[in-house]
Amino acid sequence: MDIKYINPFIGGLLHVSNMLGFGGMQRTGISKRDKLQTDHDVNIIIGLVGGLRGNIVFSMHEATACNIASTMMGGMPVSQFDMLPRSALCEMANMIAGNSVSNLEQMGSLVDITPPTLVSGKNMVSLISQVETLVVQFNAKEGAVELNIAIED
Amino acid sequence: MSTSHIAPFIKCSVNILKDMLGLEVKSGATENEGDAFTSRGFSVIVGFTGGWKGRFFLDMSGETAMQIASILTGEDYSSVADEEVLLSGAEIGNIISGNAITDINNSQPGLNLRLTPPSVFAGDSLSMFNVRLNSSSVLIDTSAGAIKINVAVEEGKK
């Protein structure tokens, strides 16, 4: 995977976080994903087709997901992870992916995205695309968010 | 959403499960699922875009996934967390959706569907949620266990 395709996604996430008013979203690290196990119980997956082919997955803990949904809905308390916060998170993922794709377009790469799907559960194992996955860690007042990027060459 | 979206996926799934994996297959009726469904524990997800946007899910229990992986590789597995089990699931999802999408594109020129690479999720009490997408599913009874096919589609403007 070409490393130049990472920045548009980081930029997209930071821009949308800023727009939605998350508390000081910052990139805290970047690493290769070396295990299948994930201890995050909320995963939102969006597919990429076209100039780039792959998947991006946002993953976080349920508590973080509730906090993010709460911020998106103007501070309304969210205690249960039901349909409303799920829908809010899918919307956030969609916005970030859309933003990232328009960043990619400026680099001359036309990419189409699939609608988001939210997968939640316990003790999860996941395989994202069949390629090496890069993980970018972010941290905000709402909690930690991981962005998994798996793009085929 | 009409059931016409899921029909090519059912046909290809049954063909692949029968011919490639040598399973006995009995197909059930379609049902509307709305925008969420609960997984049996092992789910392969393939997205597609073009004239239709949506997702194809192949959902089964961990045991079924391990049996399918054993048929493909000839080895025995004790855990779904084994990378080869996940890879086998991804491969089957890829083959089925690839065949189905080819059929759809051939019978409806201009739709121009394209696939994303498959992703696999396994775990306890998994639930899937698609925003603004309606899905139908079909439960297929095989000799390796029940396999659910779910197709969620948002019809594009094209």
Tell me what pLDDT residue B134 has: 78
pLDDT tens digits along A74-102:
999 999 999 899 999 999 999 999 999 99
User: B116 vs A115: CB contact, 8 Å cut-off?
Assistant: no
The residue written with tokens 């959403």 in the block is B1
Which domains, and CATH codes, for chain A? 3-152 (3.40.1550.10)
**Cβ partners under 8 Å of residue B75, min gap 6:** B69, B84
Tokens representing residue B8 in the block: 């090519």
Neighbour-count burial of A107, counting CB atoms closer than 10 A to its CB (0-12 exposed, 13-18 middle, 19+ buried): exposed
Indicate the pTM of the whole model.
Answer: 0.91
Q: How far is B13 from chain A (nearest CA, A)?
A: 20
Contacts of B102 (CB under 8 A, 6+ apart): none
Residue B141's identity, in one-letter code, is D
Per-residue pLDDT at B150? 92
pLDDT at res. B2: 61
Which sign, positive or negative, has the C-alpha torsion B30, B33, B35, B39? Answer: negative
Contact: A43, B121; criterion CB under 8 Å: yes
Low-confidence ranges of chain B (pLDDT < 70): 1-3, 155-158
- Segment A105-134 shows an average pLDDT of 91
A interface toward B at CB cutoff 8 Å?
36-37, 43, 45-50, 53-55, 57, 83, 86-87, 90-91, 94, 112-131, 150, 152
Report all structural domains of chain B as residue ranges with CATH numbers, in order of start.
Answer: 3-155 (3.40.1550.10)
Q: How far apart are CA A22 and CA A44, in angstroms?
A: 18
| Distance of alpha carbon B18 from alpha carbon B88, whole angstroms | 16
* A chain contacts of residue B50, beta-carbon cutoff 8 Å: 112
Helix (H, G, I), strand (E, B) or coil at A12: helix
Contact yes or no for B121 and A150 at CB 8 A: no
Predicted confidence at residue B156, as pLDDT, reads 56
